[in-house]
């Protein structure tokens, strides 16, 4: 398929080129992201004649809120950033005469929030939910030929509309599509594999044919299936006739010796659907990626993927990308998921809304299981301007559209109809009845996957019929109740849908070790013990999951830190509905096993020690405790090895056995009777401090297999730059993430450094974002400077479209030797 996105400009050359392409192709779907104009403010900008020449020109996806500035007048609960107000986007374009009589559609992968779309001054449609994708047929609103068309989008965001940072604007991709009147409908295929064996897979293809033409259409639908190497493995053709607006055709095909999609080998097949007219000419062409795999859930064995019992080692993820904000970026999502896989993660919960298409595509490719979640709220409000305002009119089309869009992704193994829905407490049966209706909608659109929800109350939803309506029962923060639930309801299939909620700041350690609600530093210790009243250390979940092997695993809150909800500072979820600015400037989450920049916290390695097989050891805290010489420092070791030995300046401080030598940790949360746990998941030593080297060594079967060392650093003297990739595409989208580390004169990382670093970017690159993972920093994500936090910062650069050569970057700071790095660009 030719890329005609570059032709959608107001030039004669573009007009002629687009006409030629449309005449030669049955379906064209092109990026509509370039050359938009944007302005904030309440104005009447829907008309084609509105003068927008003074507006800012930009390329989508775009999140206006991440540009800031931070301000106390904004809600720290939603990141302390301007996720409020009205914004307008406008774009001029031409459509050639050859497109007249065809169906011209505009598709938004998401628009945050309360979108209104106008074409040439006419309202085309409204969509309040910012997380759902939608498409409009704009054929009848267009002027064909050399005249200008204008599409305008109005977005209105209210305060207290979400409980976290949502972003603002056209933050996902926009597409323009031209098809014949008879074509495969929007999200028009559903591919199932009802029978799968090692020798053969039956593939059922349901294809919805949309017909906008007059009279009866007679033709055929041909579907070919190709494997990942491009070999055709099956084909089927069906004749049909229709005069209806929409007709569904069901076809069956067989794949011999199918290669199954799973977490280790995420193989996908490609289905090509061709609609042909009575003359045999192809008038539409539609591609669908899918996987051949089986999923099954039982009360005794839990989740079976291709017949193999599989535990969920999952994380909940919000949709923002830290310093980059909510504007979706394929590479940023890929990096997030790569970091999660390094931790041992095999599953993602899309908290608490439909995810981007990019995330699902990546999970398919990377072998990550997905719980696809629809809503955070139903009819009963959590915040005053939440989705409940639109519930009655929009919940059914939004839920149906989410499933239609996503149901061909093999990574998705369950649908979630809600998170901590307040209706779960209803005793009059209304909550259960509503859950039943939503489950029915899911099954009507997809009868191959189970339906779940995350329940945080106990025992109400289990006793009032709500949980009974679910295929899978998700339990939030009640690990000590697992045994009771399984005993009372032996047929229920249960998992931890949201667990732990431990909070910490990367690289920050407070002594003595104690469990506090808040710390005067507005940071949280990284000894992995602190959490709000409902929360607990990861060890607690490990413990109760081991005691109750029927529990299918967990989804921790959260994999990454996210903007907004700065618990334990500012407020308390679902009971502090107003502004969370009491502990300003704290404005982002501490929940992640990874910080906003993607730098692992110590907790990352605790999960890695339970979820991964590659031998690893980790030791904490850092080893810079000037003025505390001779005082005892608690040292923790995390490992998946049989044993670990700690050395201080070459002297052994003892070898300890994983699972036998325990560490007593402080525990205090609801529904837990003790004030501690003797954790077999951590090793520990009490070490009198002396500067030097602290080394942990891991052993398997008596042989060293892993080691890690932390060293005492001197004064900050320089900067070290490390790029995650040294070559990126010069397409204006690809990114290089550069770790910025403050080091001493010997190159040792300075773990407490907070020097301000300045960045100079030359050549074919531009600044995309900066950050440091500090939840209390009010520094801009968009200026070429950043203070280090716990010794580190992050610089993100992108290549200019069409540039070549190098991006040359220099990092410098007062009293520090500068550092340089180059990123190569490729076209």
Told to judge if 384 belongs to the known catalytic residues of this protein, a careful annotator would answer no
Q: How far is CA 8 from CA 29, 30, 36, 170, in A?
A: 12, 9, 11, 18
Q: Does the CA dihedral 720-726-730-736 come out positive or negative?
A: negative
Please name the residues in contact with 736: beta carbons below 8 A apart, sequence gap of 6 or more: 723, 724, 725, 726, 728, 796, 797, 798, 807, 823
Which one, of 537, 547, 399, 417, lies nearest residue 474 by Cα?
A: 417
Q: Residue 558 CB: number of other CB atoms within 10 A?
A: 23
Query: Which tokens hold the place of 78?
Result: 């939603």
Q: What DSSP string describes 181-216? A: SEEEEEEEEEEEEEEE-SSEEEEEEEEEEEE-SSS-
Burial label for 718, CB within 10 Å (0-12, 13-18, 19+), is: buried
> Which residue among 420, 423, 445, 554 is the active-site one?
420
Q: How far apart are CA 316 and CA 328, in angstroms?
A: 17
Residue-wise burial string across 16-34, b where 16 or more C-beta atoms lie within 10 A, e elsewhere: ebbbebbeeebbbbbbbbb
- DSSP structural state of residue 260: P
Q: How far apart are CA 2 and CA 65, in angstroms?
A: 34
Q: How far apart are CA 661 and CA 672, in angstroms?
A: 23
Which one, of 724, 726, 730, lies nearest residue 800 by Cα?
A: 730
The strand order across the sheet containing 643-648 reads 651-657, 643-648, 693-700, 703-711
DSSP, collapsed to helix, strand or coil, labels residue 225 as strand
Q: How far apart are CA 356 and CA 42, in angstroms?
A: 28
E strands present in 362-491: 369-373, 412-419, 451-455, 472-476
Q: How far is CA 419 from CA 73, 110, 500, 716, in A?
A: 29, 20, 16, 46
Q: Does the CA dihedral 502-504-507-510 come out positive or negative?
A: negative
> Which residue among 498, 541, 643, 779 is the active-site one?
498
Residue-wise burial string across 195-211, b where 16 or more C-beta atoms lie within 10 A, e elsewhere: ebeeeebbbebebbbbb
Query: Which tokens hold the place of 396?
Result: 């059914």
Stretch (H or E) spanning 178? strand 174-179
Stretch (H or E) spanning 436? helix 430-445
Q: Half-sphere exposure of residue 561, counting CA atoms within 13 Å on the CB side? A: 31
DSSP, collapsed to helix, strand or coil, labels residue 123 as strand
Q: How far is CA 256 from CA 190, 191, 549, 608, 650, in A?
A: 20, 17, 36, 38, 60
- DSSP structural state of residue 463: H
User: Are the beta carbons of 472 and 451 closer than 8 angstroms?
Assistant: yes
Query: Which tokens hold the place of 678?
Result: 């003797």
Q: How far apart are CA 313 and CA 345, in angstroms?
A: 5
Query: Which tokens hold the place of 108?
Result: 């938004």
DSSP, collapsed to helix, strand or coil, labels residue 399 as helix
- DSSP structural state of residue 432: H
User: Are the beta carbons of 471 and 448 closer than 8 angstroms?
Assistant: no
Told to judge if 498 belongs to the known catalytic residues of this protein, a careful annotator would answer yes
Instruction: Please tell me the chain's helix, strand, coil percentages from 3-state DSSP, rounded to the nearest 5.
Output: 15, 40, 45
Q: What angle do CA 158, 594, 586 make, to 5 degrees?
A: 45
- DSSP structural state of residue 62: -
Q: Which residues are catalytic?
A: 420, 498
């Amino acid at each position: 398929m030719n890329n005609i996105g570059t032709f959608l400009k107001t030039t004669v050359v573009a007009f002629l080129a687009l006409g030629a392409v449309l005449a030669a192709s049955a379906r064209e779907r092109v990026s509509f992201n370039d050359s938009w104009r944007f302005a904030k403010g309440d104005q009447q900008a829907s008309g084609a004649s509105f003068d927008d020449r003074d507006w800012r020109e930009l390329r989508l996806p775009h999140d206006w809120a991440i540009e800031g500035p931070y301000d106390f007048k904004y809600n720290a609960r939603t990141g302390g950033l301007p996720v409020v107000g009205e914004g307008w986007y406008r774009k001029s374009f031409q459509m050639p005469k050859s497109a007249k009589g065809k169906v011209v559609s505009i598709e938004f992968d998401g628009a945050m929030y309360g979108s209104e779309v106008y074409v040439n001054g006419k309202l085309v449609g409204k969509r309040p939910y910012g997380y759902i994708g939608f498409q409009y047929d704009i054929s009848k609103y267009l002027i064909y030929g050399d005249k200008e068309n204008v599409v305008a989008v109005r977005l209105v965001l209210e305060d207290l509309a979400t409980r976290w940072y949502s972003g603002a604007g056209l933050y996902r991709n926009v597409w323009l599509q031209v098809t014949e009147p008879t074509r495969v409908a929007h999200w028009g295929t559903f591919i199932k594999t009802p029978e799968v064996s090692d020798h053969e897979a039956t593939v059922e293809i349901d294809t919805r044919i949309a017909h906008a033409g007059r009279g009866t259409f007679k033709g055929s639908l041909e579907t070919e299936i190709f494997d990942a190497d491009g070999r055709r493995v099956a084909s089927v053709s069906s004749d049909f006739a229709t005069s209806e607006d929409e007709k569904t055709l069901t076809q069956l095909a067989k794949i011999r010796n199918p290669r199954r999609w799973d977490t280790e080998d995420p193989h996908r097949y490609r289905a090509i659907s061709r609609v042909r007219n009575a003359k045999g000419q192809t008038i539409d062409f539609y591609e669908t990626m899918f996987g051949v795999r089986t999923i099954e859930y039982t009360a005794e064995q839990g989740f079976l993927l291709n017949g193999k019992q599989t535990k969920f080692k999952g994380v909940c993820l919000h949709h923002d990308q830290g310093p980059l904000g909510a504007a979706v970026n394929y590479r940023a999502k890929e990096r997030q998921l790569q970091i999660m896989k390094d931790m041992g993660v095999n599953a993602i919960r899309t908290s608490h809304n439909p995810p981007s298409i990019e995330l699902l595509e990546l999970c398919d490719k990377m072998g990550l299981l997905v719980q696809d979640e629809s809503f955070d709220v139903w009819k009963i409000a959590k915040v005053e301007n939440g989705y409940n305002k639109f519930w009655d009119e929009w919940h059914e089309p939004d839920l149906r559209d989410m499933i239609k869009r996503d149901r061909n992704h093999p990574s998705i193994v369950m649908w979630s109809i809600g998170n901590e829905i307040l209706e779960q407490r209803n005793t009059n049966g209304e909550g259960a009845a509503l859950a039943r209706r939503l489950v029915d909608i899911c099954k009507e659109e997809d009868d191959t996957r189970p339906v779940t929800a995350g329940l945080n109350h106990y025992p109400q939803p289990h006793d009032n019929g709500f949980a009974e309506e679910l295929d899978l029962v998700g339990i939030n923060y009640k690990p000590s109740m697992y045994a009771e639930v399984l005993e009372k309801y032996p047929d229920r299939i249960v998992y931890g849908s949201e667990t732990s909620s431990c909070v910490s700041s990367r690289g920050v350690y407070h002594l003595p070790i104690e469990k506090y609600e808040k710390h005067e530093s507005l940071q949280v210790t990284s000894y992995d013990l602190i959490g709000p009243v409902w929360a607990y250390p990861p060890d607690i979940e490990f413990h109760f999951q081991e005691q109750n092997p029927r529990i299918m695993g967990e989804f921790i809150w959260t994999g990454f830190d996210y903007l907004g909800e700065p618990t334990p500072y500012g407020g308390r979820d679902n009971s502090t509905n107003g502004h969370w600015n009491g502990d300003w400037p704290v404005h982002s989450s501490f929940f992640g096993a990874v910080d906003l920049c993607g730098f692992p916290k110590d907790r990352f390695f605790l999960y890695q020690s339970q979820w991964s097989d590659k031998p690893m050891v980790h030791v904490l805290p850092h080893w810079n405790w000037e003025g505390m010489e001779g005082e005892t420092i608690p040292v923790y070791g995390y490992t998946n090895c049989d044993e670990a030995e700690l050395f201080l300046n070459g002297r052994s401080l003892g070898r300890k056995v994983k699972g036998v030598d325990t560490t007593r940790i402080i525990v205090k949360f609801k529904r837990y009777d003790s004030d501690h746990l003797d954790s077999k998941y951590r090793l520990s030593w009490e070490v009198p401090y002396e500067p030097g080297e602290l080394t942990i060594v891991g052993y398997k079967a008596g042989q060293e297999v892993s080691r890690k060392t932390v060293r005492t650093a001197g004064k900050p003297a320089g900067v070290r730059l490390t790029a995650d990739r040294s070559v990126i595409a010069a397409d204006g989208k690809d990114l290089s993430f550069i770790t910025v580390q403050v080091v001493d004169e010997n190159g040792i990382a300075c773990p407490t450094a907070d020097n301000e670093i300045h960045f100079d970017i030359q050549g074919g690159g531009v600044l995309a974002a900066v950050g440091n993972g500090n939840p209390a920093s009010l520094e801009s994500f968009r200026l070429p400077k950043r203070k280090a936090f716990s010794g580190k910062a992050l610089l993100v650069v992108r290549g200019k479209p069409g540039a070549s050569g190098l991006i040359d970057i220099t990092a410098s700071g007062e009293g520090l030797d500068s550092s340089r790095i180059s990123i190569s660009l490729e076209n």
